[in-house]
Chains A and B, each alone.
Chain A
């Protein structure tokens, strides 16, 4: 196999694009390939034109490639839209009997609907026939696919999909003479997990001991709510389907006040409703974790698409001045660890930690090493012990962190207030106490700066150009920088997976000696670039911005940077 093999499954909503794409990714991961996949779908339940791309690689991969080696098409529109993206050596696999002959080259025709009907009695499993045919052409073992189907489907669906897959394999063996040059084989580590960002983040929350979630569904974070709701009973966790996002964040704050680790998740529009709740958590110094999965705005924007347009918003949301932490994980694996770290920082510093993801990160599957649970540490911060006198929830301390206690214990009353309050938590308008409380809260930022993982410069030692990014653009930028390095460009990649408090001194040191600084972001105004400029006073020379609702591919960044280095 060449370095990577790129698949696309395309079809209408409701035709099983997501299922087949996932099964394909899983099949490849089970053979030990590194896998990255992304999903592109319209905001509709049936029809339209969706696709699911899967990239298999011998080396770790975190981005999608433009050129397709194998296009698995369920609809005419899927072929018409994407056949130009198929590489010269690639193939389009589809059912000519149902879609008719299309004037495109290099096709493999499989009578999938007919085979499905013959094997199972209906045409529902035609997509599985095509999947099996594609894998057969690539030398994938039928037994391995059948066992995958049996673990994915249940009951009658499992039986039918196995029959359909068998029919697909048989048809290819008997009727297709084309031999793919690339043949899949079992390589490397076969025990990697195939997870998307939302799943990894959910697992991280569980590993961190999160006991309470309240949320309102919103793309792209809905699968976090659904996953945790499905597991809540066995985990002894509560997931409340809140009446709105305002309720969600206020419930989470109440649950945390009562003593457990609690989180909510939303997208930008829902976060708009949560903003006043951010202030409440800040004023009452209640630890909460908020996941914000970005999608294009403003308003409803593009519900099922990609953007990194909310960084400014997360930095500044809510009135008044208070500390916050913003983590911006870049990969599915980082989503897991971001969740673990978020709960620790939230409780240690008694504030809100925002985990920013986006549609691309939330929904893209990748094959990652099994999360090492022995590395998970839980730090609840300072808790009140009975011996230290009468309890004051907001007691002044050297580092601004007051011991926490939970309501319900004899001899301890936990009093807190959204009004400015004194050490005991009772409301006050005393100017001296007010100033001290502001300083107490904001003072936490000093220690917090030490907690933030510094962005690492990766690439040339004395780069002539640095490309900076944050969050989900990691894979595309890293691959672009790798490719450009191979062509002799002295380039490096600076990536932020934890962005606030901003490590301004360290970033300033890195950037000040570099002649050219570029920032690649999925937004229109260069929000990271503005943050860098504001915090370090270093000029960002150029932007690579994409704000059409789609994620970057490495090729686009290579093209943009190539213009600069010519």
Chain B
């Protein structure tokens, strides 16, 4: 059995006190422990931003990538080693701005990875500029006249038939852990957009602001198996913000259809295909 101790990182987080990332970190650890996954069975692929530091504050294999580029190496690693539980930690800038193309195509191809978007609706690491999810009219250092309309990541995911579309809230660690657990267990791409209060640079979407608005879909009678209903639910934003699984269905996973390496193959020993001789003969 894995324990929370197994996931205790050596480094002390450098996040601001009160940062939503603490909740996400705790939820990730809890989910992995509840799934009984050991650190060596996890690969965290993180982006750049405060989110990208998360893997350093727990334990697991870590590939800390470039800004916006966490998705491509993550899906490739999963193709090569299907035994790895691949978790992407990325922010709203990396996922929905710099790397949106990668996210859309990875959801479309349906790789079996879990993508946690630390969505604080602002650029934190660069000290407070507008992000792709900054609310319309939001005043930031780069949008002194107000931000243009935001992207709706849940609708984007639904548009490419992502099989697990969810929203979590960093302050509700137990609920978020439950969503992450379901996302990791889901066969296929899981997009989890996480409302993450930024105490330093987002003075609109604060802890309090979110707490007044979020509600859990569980218990409301909502079933996440209807795409049309999901399409409507994904547009609910403002006075009430739904959290939980918005849409879920299984469809073929990209890497499972590939005739590549056996997941238990010893990677350290290269076996060159015996077919090469035949291929050379084809050119004679």
Contact = CB atoms under 8 A, between A and B. Distances in A.
Interface of A: 191-195, 199, 203, 206-209, 211-212, 214, 231-238, 240, 242-244, 246-248, 250-255, 257-262, 276-277, 279-280, 284, 370-371, 373, 376, 378, 380, 383, 406-419, 425-427
Contact of B76 (A252, A261, A280, A412): A252
Interface in B32-77: 38-41, 43, 45, 48, 53, 55-56, 59-66, 69, 71-77
Contact of A236 (B59, B62, B72, B261): B261
Contacts of A411: 40
B273 A194 contact: no
B25 interface: no
B1 interface: no
Contacts of B71: 247
A246 B284 contact: no
A408 B61 contact: yes
Nearest to A376: B272
Contact of B259 (A207, A236, A279, A427): A236
Contacts of B276: 203, 206-207, 373
B259 A407 contact: no
B267 interface: yes
Contact of A258 (B64, B80, B259): B80
**8 tightest A-B CB contacts, nearest first:** A254-B73, A259-B267, A254-B76, A407-B61, A250-B72, A258-B80, A251-B76, A193-B283
Given A418-B65, A418-B66, A253 B56 contact: no
Contacts of A277: 66, 69
B127 interface: no
8 contacts: A199-B283, A231-B275, A238-B255, A246-B69, A258-B77, A407-B40, A412-B40, A427-B53
B66 A250 contact: yes
Interface string B76-91: 1101110110000000
Contact of B64 (A214, A246, A406, A416): A416
A253 B66 CA distance: 11
B73 A253 contact: yes
B284 A193 contact: yes
Nearest to B11: A426
Given A207-B276, A211-B260, A407 B84 contact: yes
Q: Is the interface of B mostly helix, strand, loop or mixed?
A: mixed
A427 B73 contact: no
A250 B283 contact: no
Given A254-B45, A380-B268, A407 B77 contact: yes
B21 to A, nearest CB: 15
Given A247-B71, A414-B62, 8 more contacts: A203-B279, A240-B76, A255-B73, A276-B66, A280-B66, A408-B41, A415-B55, A427-B64
A418 B73 CA distance: 12
Q: Is the interface of A mostly helix, strand, loop or mixed?
A: mixed
A484 to B, nearest CB: 34
A419 B53 CA distance: 10
Nearest to A411: B40
B284 to A, nearest CB: 5
Contacts of A203: 276, 279-280, 283
A259 B84 CA distance: 12
Contacts of A250: 65-66, 69, 72-73, 76, 102
Interface in B168-189: none
Pick the most buried of B105, B255, B283: most chain A CB atoms within 10 A of its CB. Answer: B283
Nearest to A419: B64
Interface of B: 10-11, 38-41, 43, 45, 48, 53, 55-56, 59-66, 69, 71-77, 79-81, 83-84, 101-102, 104-105, 255, 258-261, 267-268, 270-273, 275-277, 279-280, 283-284
Nearest to B53: A427
A413 B40 contact: yes
Contacts of A419: 64
B26 to A, nearest CB: 20
Contacts of B271: 209
A235 B270 CA distance: 13
A413 B61 contact: yes
Contacts of A373: 276-277, 280
Contacts of A409: 40
A259 B261 CA distance: 11
Nearest to A262: B76
A408 B83 contact: yes
A406 B267 contact: yes
A183 B112 CA distance: 62
A376 B284 CA distance: 20
B76 A214 contact: yes
B105 to A, nearest CB: 4
Contacts of A192: 284
A3 to B, nearest CB: 25
B259 A232 contact: yes
Pick the most buried of A376, A406, A408: most chain B CB atoms within 10 A of its CB. Answer: A408
A412 B60 CA distance: 9
B137 to A, nearest CB: 32
A299 to B, nearest CB: 21
Contacts of A194: 283-284
A417 B66 contact: no
B265 to A, nearest CB: 9
B270 A378 contact: yes
A290 B10 CA distance: 36
A376 B272 CA distance: 10
B260 A236 contact: yes
A64 to B, nearest CB: 21
A426 B44 CA distance: 13
B261 A211 contact: yes
A416 B64 CA distance: 6
Contacts of B66: 250, 276-277, 279-280, 418
Nearest to B272: A209
A235 B272 CA distance: 9
Nearest to B104: A243
